[in-house]
Structure 1
Amino acid sequence: MVLNVQKPSDPQGLIIEAWAQGFMVGSLVIMACITAANMRRKVLLHKLILVELIFGMFHGTFIFTDPPVYNWYLSVTAIFLNVSWSLHNVIAWIKNKPLLPRWASIFYITTVILVQPYWVLELAANFLYFSDTNNLFVYTRPYEALFRDPWWIFTALNLFWNIKTRYDFGVVELIRVSPRFGVLLGSMLVSICFIVVDILAVTHVVSGPGLPDGINPFWKIAFVFKCLTDTIILDDFKTALDRLKQYRLERMGSVLSDNIRGDFQHVDYTQRKKVDGSQEMRGIPAIQSRDWTKVTDFDNLDLETALRVDLREHAESSSPSGG
C-alpha cells in the first residue's frame, strides 16, 4: 500500500469495487426495510439493528465521487461504518447475553469497550492515508479483524454450542423444523469464511491484479452476512430457541394425542370402560365412554398426562383378564 491512493481507474478494479459497494448497499437497504416492517416499538435491540444497517450504507457510495471529493468522502463515511461494526458487537452481546454466565457477559462487553481507542486511531490513520499525508494506515489496517471480529466468532460458536447442549437440537433437525434458523447459521458460517479471506487479502497472502490498493470486496460480503444474522431473527437467541423448543413440544404432544385417539378406537367397549373408570388414573380429565369415536378431551391433555393414558391403555389391553 502506498500513498496517493486514488479512485480505481483500471476497468477490472473499478468493476470489482463498484459491484462490491452495490451489493453491500442494496443488501442493507432491503434488510433495513424488512427490519423496519417487523420491529416492535420500545424494543431497544430492534432499533439498534436498524441503526447498524443505516450507518453501514454510507460507505458504499463513495465510488460515485471523484478526487478530491473521493478521498475525504471515503474517510467520512468510514466513520459511520466503524460505528456500525462496533454496534454489531453490542447487538451480538445483547442477543448472546441470556446464554452467557454473568462473568462472561461482563467480560464480553468490557472488551468491546476497551478496543474503541483503536478505532479512533484507525479513523485518524484513514484520513491521513487517503489525504496523502501519512501512511500509518498501512500498519493499522491489518489489525482491523483482530479488533472487530473475535466477539462475532465467539457468538457464532456459543450459539452452536448451546443449540447442541442446552436445547438438544441436531443441526439438521433444527434446520428442518425452522428454516429461518438454518439461514441464520448458514449466514454465520459464510461471514466467518469471508472474514478469513479478508485477512488473507489484507496481509497479501492472497492478492490479485484487480484488487485496488487499500480496499477489497471481501469485508463487504462478510459485513452483509453478519447484518443478515441480525435481521433474520430480531430477538435474542434464547428467546428464539425457547419458542422453537416449545413449538417442538407442542407438535410432539399433538402427534401423541392423535396416536392415542387412534389406538382407543380399536379397544373394545369393556376395556374402554375400565380405562375410563380406573381409580389409578385419578387426576386425568374424564373421558366419556359413550362416544369414543371423538374423544375430544384428549386435545386438552398435556404431554405427561397423555403418556400416562397411553401406557395405561396398553397395559390393560394386554392383560389376560382384561383388567
Structure 2
Amino acid sequence: MELTKRVLDVQKPSELTGVIIEAWAQGFMVGALIIMAFVTFCNMKRSVLLHKLILIELIFGMFHGTFIFTNPPVYHWYLSVTAIFLNVSWSLHNVIAWLKNKPLLPRWASIFYITTVILVQPYWVLEIFLYFGDKSTLFTYTRPYEALFRDPFWIFTVVNLLYNIRRRYEFGYFELIRVSPRFAILLGAMLLSICFIFIDILAVTHVISTKSLPDGINPFWKIAFVFKCLTDTIILDDFKTALDRLTQYRLQRMGSVLSDGIRGEFLDVEQARKKKAEQASTSIPGLKDVDARDWSKASDCEHLDLESALHMNSMQRGESSGSSG
C-alpha cells in the first residue's frame, strides 16, 4: 500500500463536499488570523522585534486562505504565491518560538535550536518547486515529511515551557491555571495544536481513513496553525518575562496575606489588652468611670493606681467622719 499516494495535478475543488470543507477551513483560518492580528497590533510595542514578527506571521498566513475565490488559470499561480507566504509564516513561527524560549535555554541549546530551524529551509524551497513547478513524482515522497521539518521545534518549545513551569518556577499546573487564566488559554492552545498536528500526520499518511475528505483537501493543518498562532498572540513577550511577572504577582499576594495575618494578630492583642483594662477598672472601687484606654499600660503602673484608689477612699471616709462630728 502506497501511503504517499495523492494527486499531483492540483485543481480547484469541484465537488460540493470538497468546496464546503475547503471554504470552511479557509474561512476559519483567515477569520481567526485577522482577529489575532488586530489584537496583536493593539497590544504590541513597536520597539520590540518579537511583537513585529508575530504580526508579520499572522499577516503572511492569511493569504493562503483566500485561493478558494479564484478560478483557473489564476487559481494555480495564486495558490503557488500564497503557499510561499504560508511557508514563510511557518518558519517565522519557529523563529518566534525560539525567541520566546531563548531565555529559558542554555546557550548551546539556543544555538542548536536556531541552527536546525535554518537548516530545514532548503526543504521548503524544494517543496514549493516540486508541488507547483512541475508534476514530479518526487513530491509523493517529500510531502509526508512536512511535519518532521516543521513541528519538532514547536513540540520542544511546549515541553520545555511545561518543564520550566514545574521545575524552575515551582508552579503547579492547576495552580497556574487558577492564578492566570491567560496561561490557561496558552497551555490549552498548545495542547490542541499538538493534537491536530498528529491528526494531520495520520491523515496525510493515510493511517486514519479520510474517505470523507476529497483528495488534496486537509483542514487539520489549518486548525493546528491557528492554535499555534494563538499561543503567540495570547502572550506577546517571551515566556521567561511572562513567568517572572506571574511569580512577582504571586509573591506580592503572599506578602499581602502575611501582612494581613500579622495585622490581625496585632489587633487581637490590642483587643485583649482593652478587655483586661475594662475588667480591672470595674474591680477597683471609685474607678468605674475611668476610660479603658487609660488601662492599656496597666501592667506597668498597677501599684500606682492601687495607691491612688486607696488614698481617694481614705479621703472620702475622713470627710464623712468630719461632717458627722
Q: Same fold (TM over 0.5)?
A: yes
Q: Distance in 1 between matches of 2:154 and 2:253?
A: 33
CA root-mean-square deviation: 1.6
Instruction: Tell me by how many angstroms 1:76 deviates.
Output: 1.1
Instruction: Tell me which residue corresponds to 1:118.
Output: 123
- Length-normalised TM-score, structure 2: 0.80
User: What are the residue-to-residue correspondences of 1:1-323 with 2, within 5 Å?
Assistant: 1-128=6-133, 133-268=135-270
Instruction: Tell me which residue corresponds to 2:279.
Output: none
Q: Secondary structure at the match of 1:2?
A: coil
Runs of 4+ in 1 over 4 A off after TM superposition: 268-272
Q: Secondary structure at the match of 2:136?
A: coil
Q: Distance in 1 between matches of 2:177 and 2:118?
A: 34
Instruction: Tell me which residue corresponds to 1:305.
Output: none
- Structure 1: gaps of 5 or more residues: 273-289, 291-323
Q: Distance in 1 between matches of 2:97 and 2:56?
A: 14
* CA contact 1:92–1:155 (8 Å) conserved in 2: yes
Q: Which structure has the greater CA radius of gyration?
A: 2
Cα deviation code 1:53-99 (max 9, x no counterpart): 00000000001111222122111100000000000000000000000
Q: Distance in 1 between matches of 2:43 and 2:235?
A: 10
Q: Distance in 1 between matches of 2:247 and 2:273?
A: 36
The code of the aligned residue for 1:10 comes to E
* CA contact 1:128–1:135 (8 Å) conserved in 2: no
Q: Report sequence identity in percent.
A: 78
Say how many residue pairs are matched.
270
Instruction: Tell me by how many angstroms 1:2 deviates.
Output: 2.2
Q: Secondary structure at the match of 1:266?
A: helix
- Length-normalised TM-score, structure 1: 0.81
| Distance change >3 Å, CA 255–CA 125, structure 1 → 2 | same
Instruction: Tell me by how many angstroms 1:187 deviates.
Output: 0.3
* CA contact 1:56–1:84 (8 Å) conserved in 2: yes
